[in-house]
Amino acid sequence: MNQPVNQTEIKRAILEQQTADARKKMILNGVLLAILLVAPFVMYPVFLMKILCFALFAVAFNLLFGFTGLLSFGHAAFLAAGGYTTGYLLSNFPGLTTEMGIVAGTLVATLLGLAFAVLSIRRQGIYFAMVTLALSQLVFFFFVQSEFTGGEDGMHGIPRGQLFGVVNLESNLNMYYFVLAVFIACYILVQRIVSSPYGQVLRSIKQNEARAVSLGYNVNRYKMLAFVISAALAGLAGSMKSVVFQLASLNDAHWHMSGEVILMTLVGGMGTLLGPVVGATFVVNIEYQLSQGPLRDWVDFILGGIFILTVLAFRSGIVGEIQKFMKKNLG
């Protein structure tokens, strides 16, 4: 009767492997967290916050694109909706504390996401991309025409205010740790969603929607929830961005922003957790570095080139390629 022994041994080996993997991941996450905690003493906090806001935006987008397989070309609408709502409330109602403004901005983006989802979720693939693009353009024109957004000039001088009425966010360091905390919370949330049974269904929809349907899942409802969560997190990113920069502008609503978040996700590695974060860091840095140097007029050209290169050659992105390399060479 060797078999039972063998099986327990195999199980134990698998378990050990899993704990080893988990330990490695924990060490990696710990190191990243330590870096993020020390970073504002080494680098300019506002620049770091910019990266964090875009990273959150890309993480939100990736939940939909990378894990569910839905390419939305309209995510700029949620970023802008969050930003404008928070900016408007904080500018006009001094009684509100900062987090109330941010929550309100996120809520508006969530509702907008629900509206988008209702109209677009039955469409597939590129149809879905075109419909979301056109819907976001509708939102863009709404923001252009509305008086409260300041039109082409944008919304300036949004007060950062007091967090919970206690913590002064005018200090860049306080602001940074607040943004970092929100970012980490959202990152963990997305991690939990992706590894939950619900996340498994999302993945199965991405891999083979027809099979998911035949297994009895109401695919559209799963997709819709993913869309709404993604919109909410994108809105949260926009809300925080408007508080950090004390500015909300039409740039955030323009369809180029929707393209940029696709680029971030794709370059970093879609369908991986860390990918969008790496991608956002990469793109924000490249844009910043280029704008400082002699190539400042060529930013769009270079971004376009990166787009093409990624699609043709590195489709799994930076993180995806590293994972592949590790798997191949390190067992």
Partner 1 sequence: MSMILGVPVAVLSGQLLIGIINGAFYALLSLGLAVIFGLLKIINFAHGAMYMLGAMATVIMFDMLGLNYWVALFVAPVLVGVFGMLIEYFLLRRISGQDHIYSLLLTFGAALMIQGVLTNIYGVSGLRYAMPDAFKGGMNLGFMFLPYYRAWVIAIALVVCFGTWFMIEKTKLGAYLRAGTEDAQLMQGFGINVPLLVSLTYGFGVMLAAFAGVLAAPIYSVTPVMGSHILIVVFAVVVIGGMGSIAGAIVTGILMGIIEGLTKTFYPPASSAVIFLVMVVVLMFRPTGLFGKEA
Q: Which is nearer to partner 1, 230 or 242 (CB)?
A: 230
Give the integer Cα–Cα distance in Å for 79 and 86: 11
Region of 11-19, 40-48, 88-96, 142-150 interacting with partner 1 (CB under 8 A): 142-150
The CA angle 152-157-162, to the nearest 5 degrees, is 140
Site for partner 1 contains 129 (CB under 8 A):
yes
Identity of the residue numbered 281: T
- Helix, strand, coil fractions of the chain, as percent rounded to 5: 80, 0, 20
Q: Which is nearer to partner 1, 64 or 244 (CB)?
A: 64
Site for partner 1 contains 141 (CB under 8 A):
yes
Give the integer Cα–Cα distance in Å for 83 and 328: 43
Q: Which is nearer to partner 1, 175 or 290 (CB)?
A: 290
* Beta strand segments in 85-221, E: 155-156, 162-163, 167-168
Tokens (6 digits) for 140 = 């863009």
Instruction: Tell me which of 177, 217, 288, 307 binds partner 1, using CB under 8 A.
Output: 307
Give the integer Cα–Cα distance in Å for 31 and 29: 5
Q: Which is nearer to partner 1, 106 or 120 (CB)?
A: 120
The 58-97 contact track toward partner 1, x by CB under 8 A, reads -------------x-x------------------------
Site for partner 1 contains 290 (CB under 8 A):
no
Burial of 54 (0-12, 13-18, 19+ CB in 10 A): buried
Tokens (6 digits) for 129 = 């991309």
State in angstroms the smallest separation of the CB of 127 from partner 1.
6
Binding-site residue total for partner 1 (CB under 8 A)?
Answer: 41
Site for partner 1 contains 305 (CB under 8 A):
yes
Site for partner 1 contains 250 (CB under 8 A):
no
Q: Decide if 219 contacts 209 (C-beta within 8 A).
A: yes
The 109-128 contact track toward partner 1, x by CB under 8 A, reads ----------xx-xxxxxx-
User: Which position has the token pair 């297994």?
Assistant: 215
Q: What are the residues binding partner 1 (CB under 8 A)?
A: 71, 73, 119-120, 122-127, 129-131, 133-135, 137-138, 141-142, 144-145, 255, 259, 262, 266, 297-308, 311-312, 315
